[in-house]
Amino acid sequence: MTGDRPDREVVEMLDRLLQERYGGDGSGLLLGQVGRDPVDVLVATVLSQATSDRASLAAFTRLKERFPRWEMVLEAGPVELEKVIAPAGLGRQKATRVVDILKAIQARAGRISLGFLKGAPAGEAARFLEGLPGVGPKTAACVLLFALGQAAFPVDTHVYRVARRVGLIPEKVDRARAQKILQESVDPERYLRLHVNLIAHGREVCRARRPRCSQCPVRSVCDAAGTPANPPVP
């Protein structure tokens, strides 16, 4: 690592090793299964917070079945929405957030659609998304990457943990700074593949507790490999 940024050769090797192990098409992720509509991806990302992909996908599927049009969510209100998205947990908080987001989009676009962001500069789109209620850099980056075809590198729990352990980012950097470092250090054509493969690696091998270092395909480029203790990293 040079300063805050990882060496590009290390990034390239890590990308190759993870691709050999996991592939990296993203089809197994929640956002690989909800389609390409930006509002769908935005709401699905909100539902995914602090829960599993299985639970959030179940909640998102129930939501779309009950409310085929987003305007119907606003007509029903947060109390009814809370019942529908119960599998995702934190129902009241997420229902309120989703309703507030949909209202804000409608106020800006005149309808509940983010189609006006397609083709917009990534910085402009990111600023609009991060201006929505409860939407931070990670959620905005998910919409940019998965729905708008924009260059963005979302940093979720798994990406953050693995990136710190292997040395892509400094140990004490926060997630917002981590996202900026990775976006500046990784070639844009690698964003999607590396993002989904870091998640897969964090789930299967580089777990928060008891990481399976002996089974790790990236030991050769990992700063934590071979240390006397590899403590849990939340």
pLDDT category of residue 232 using cuts at 50, 70 and 90:
very low
What Å distances lie between residue 129 and 80, 108, 112, 178, 215, CA to CA?
A: 25, 11, 13, 19, 39
pLDDT at 229 over 60: no
pLDDT in tens, 41-88: 999 999 999 888 889 999 999 999 999 999 999 999 999 999 999 999
What mean pLDDT comes out for the span 129-136?
96
Task: Name residue, tokens 């399976």.
Answer: 212
pLDDT in tens, 188-203: 999 999 999 999 999 9
Q: What is the pTM of this model?
A: 0.89
Catalytic residue positions, numbered: 138
Say which residue, 225 or 21, is predicted with more confidence. Answer: 21
Residue 164: CA count within 13 A, CB half-sphere: 21
Give the pLDDT of residue 112. 98
Q: Which domains does the chain carry?
A: 8-27+153-221 (1.10.1670.10), 36-146 (1.10.340.30)
Q: Which two tokens stand for residue 113?
A: 């659609």
Give the pLDDT of residue 234. 47
